[in-house]
Each structure stands twice: as structure tokens, then as C-alpha cells.
Amino acid sequence: MIDVMNRLEGNIALVTGGSRGIGAAVALRLAEEGADVALTYENSAERAAGIVEHIKALGRRALAIQADCAVPEALTAAVEETAGTFGRIDVLVNNAAVFLVGALEDLGTAEIDRTLAVNIRAPFVASQAAARHLGQGGRIISIGSNVAERAVFPGLALYSMSKTALIGMTKGLARELGPRGITVNLVHPGPTNTDANPADGPNAAAIAGFTALGRYAEGAEIAAAVAHLASADADYITGAAINVDGGFAA
Ligand code: NDP
């Protein structure tokens, strides 16, 4: 029997981009369900420290690691630091991403390279590094996007492309790691109230209008799906993409 309040008791999780937004909500939810959590950030040292304090107040261990996901060596070092500090890794959440949007003619190689490095190469590199530590029951969960398969506004091509790549990665790794009892899944959030996409932003009403529920999500609603996939309740889910999008794709 799984204790539903402590489904992740004894687990070690690493969340990339856990200082703010969805990543912070995921880090907190995994800790609430019993996991010890390491989180990475790029710039927000204070906010990362705040999430660490919050997790420790829950009685769990926590660690914040400054690591730019665009730098493979830094990301791999963060995975190793997590395993070294906590003894192993059970759950990797690939969350960090950049949202660089604009007209086709306005996106230069700097924006293209940054998007490919953070949104695609980093999840792949982190998965590679974490897979060396994951055992039976291990989890790789990536955060995709509602616009991976439905680019509703002009200007989303680069970002959408980067999120669609995660579908291929998820399916490929599910096949590759399945024989080791490791599951690999993707969560596609809909519009979610974060710094990157505030629910009171200038285009928010139009964006919310694309959902069936007519509203933004809060990070905690995305985190609930991630926690489910991380738990033993989801032992038989792999290679899947779950929309937590308020019906955006309906
Ligand atoms: P935010 O911009 O609010 O937060 C981004 C987080 O990622 C921060 O913790 C940030 O760290 C970290 N981060 C960004 N770049 C790097 C980097 N190069 N290296 C390390 N950490 C980095 O984003 P959201 O919470 O909105 O988005 C989280 C995920 O959800 C992303 O994958 C996004 O694509 C996806 N998503 C979001 C939606 C939304 O409406 N919000 C909708 C669909 C998908 P720091 O604080 O140090 O900058």
C-alpha cells in the first residue's frame, strides 16, 4: 500500500530551474510528499535559498546549486553534486527553459543557440548524467509546453520547436531505460502564472481564452501531475505526455 501523503518518502529528486515558477512549485510538492530535493538556478540565488529554507522547514533535506543549464559541464556537475550529497538520485525533473519569442526575421543565432542549449541539450545532458545514478523505479520527468503541438500565436516557432523535441527525447529514453525499470515522461503545462507568463500580463486574457477552463494554472497544479509521475502510482506510465493545460489542446 502506498502512503498517499508520503508517496516520495526516502526519494532524492533534482529539479532544474527550481528557484521560481513551476520548478519551485515542483520542488516544494516533491518535498511535501517526502522527497529530499536539490534544485538548480541560474541567477536567483536568494529565491533559491528561500525555496531551500521552505523545504527544510518541511523536515526534508534540500540543496540549491548555481548551474547554467546551457553549460553541459555545469549541469553534469550539478547532477554529480546531488548524488554526492544525498547518496543517489531517484527523480530528475527537467524544468528550466527559456522563452524566446519573436518574428522569424528577428530571431538571431544567439536566440536560436540559447533556446537549443537550454531547452533541448540540457534535458538530454541532465538525463544522460542522471541515468548513471537512477535505479529500478527511477524517474525522468520533463516539462514541455502546451505549444509543443499547437502554436497558437505567431512568434512561437523557435520555442515550440524546442518543446516538440522533448516528445522525441521522452519516447526514445522511455524505450532505452524501460528495461532498467526507469520511466520517462513529459508534462505539458498550459498557461501558468509565473514570471515568464504572468496571469495579469498584457496578453493573458487572450491566452486564457484558448483554454477550455478560461483561466491560467498555478504552478502547484502542474506540480501535482509531476508528483504523480514521480510516485509509484505511476509505475506503468512511460513514454507518455500528460497535458495539464486546462483544455488548451481540446
Ligand atoms: P520562469 O521563467 O518563471 O522560471 C524559470 C526557472 O528556470 C527559474 O528557476 C530560472 O532560474 C531557471 N532557468 C532558466 N534558465 C536557466 C538556465 N540556463 N540554467 C539554470 N536555470 C535556468 O519559468 P516557468 O516557471 O514559467 O517555466 C517553467 C517550465 O514550464 C519551462 O520549461 C517552461 O517552458 C514551461 N512552461 C511554462 C508555461 C507557463 O505558462 N509559465 C507554459 C508551458 C510550459 P533563475 O531564477 O536563476 O533565473
Give the pLDDT band (50/70/90) at residue 48: very high
Residue 1 has a pLDDT of 57
* Bridging pattern class, strands 139-143 and 183-189: parallel
Residue 2 has a pLDDT of 61
Q: Which of 197, 204, 206, 105 is nearest to 157 (CA)?
A: 105
- Quick: pLDDT tens for 194-233: 999 999 999 999 999 999 999 999 999 999 999 999 999 9
Q: Which of 162, 197, 222, 243 to mutate to test the pocket of ligand 1 (most atoms within 8 A of CB)?
A: 197
What is the C-alpha to C-alpha distance for residues 79 and 246, in angstroms, rounded to an integer? 33
* Closest residue CA from atom 28 of ligand 1: 22
**Cβ burial, residue 43 (10 Å; 0-12/13-18/19+):** exposed
Count how many residues are written for the chain. 250
What is the C-alpha to C-alpha distance for residues 43 and 66, in angstroms, rounded to an integer? 7
Contact 6, 34 (CB under 8 A): yes
For the Cβ of 26 lying below 6 angstroms from any atom of ligand 1, the answer is no
Average per-residue pLDDT for the chain: 97
Q: How far is CA 75 from CA 3, 72, 79, 123, 186, in A?
A: 33, 5, 6, 9, 20
For the Cβ of 246 lying below 6 angstroms from any atom of ligand 1, the answer is no
Lowest average pLDDT, out of 3-7, 31-35, 131-135, 149-153, goes to: 3-7
DSSP 50-90: HHHHHHHHTT--EEEEE--TTSHHHHHHHHHHHHHHHS--S
Residue 17 DSSP code? T
- Please say if the pLDDT value at position 39 is more than 70: yes
Distance from residue 17's CA to the centre of ligand 1 (Å): 6
Distance from residue 77's CA to the centre of ligand 1 (Å): 20
Q: What's the order of all strands across the beta sheet hosting 62-66? A: 62-66, 36-41, 12-15, 91-94, 139-143, 183-189, 241-244
- Please say if the pLDDT value at position 52 is more than 80: yes
Average pLDDT rounded to a whole number, residues 143-163: 96
For the Cβ of 115 lying below 6 angstroms from any atom of ligand 1, the answer is no
Which residue segments constitute the domains of the chain, with CATH numbers given? Answer: 4-244 (3.40.50.720)
Residue 5 has a pLDDT of 75
For the Cβ of 22 lying below 6 angstroms from any atom of ligand 1, the answer is yes
For the Cβ of 231 lying below 6 angstroms from any atom of ligand 1, the answer is no
Residues catalogued as catalytic: 159
For the Cβ of 20 lying below 6 angstroms from any atom of ligand 1, the answer is yes
φ, ψ of residue 14 to 5 degrees: the values are -125, 125
- Quick: pLDDT tens for 169-192: 999 999 999 999 999 999 999 999
- Quick: pLDDT tens for 53-89: 999 999 999 999 999 999 999 999 999 999 999 999 9
What is the C-alpha to C-alpha distance for residues 118 and 113, in angstroms, rounded to an integer? 9
Distance from residue 196's CA to the centre of ligand 1 (Å): 7
Q: Which of 243, 151, 245 is nearest to 190 (CA)?
A: 245
Give the pLDDT band (50/70/90) at residue 240: very high
* Closest residue CA from atom 27 of ligand 1: 22
- Quick: pLDDT tens for 101-128: 999 999 999 999 999 999 999 999 999 9
Q: Which of 233, 245, 222 is nearest to 29 (CA)?
A: 222
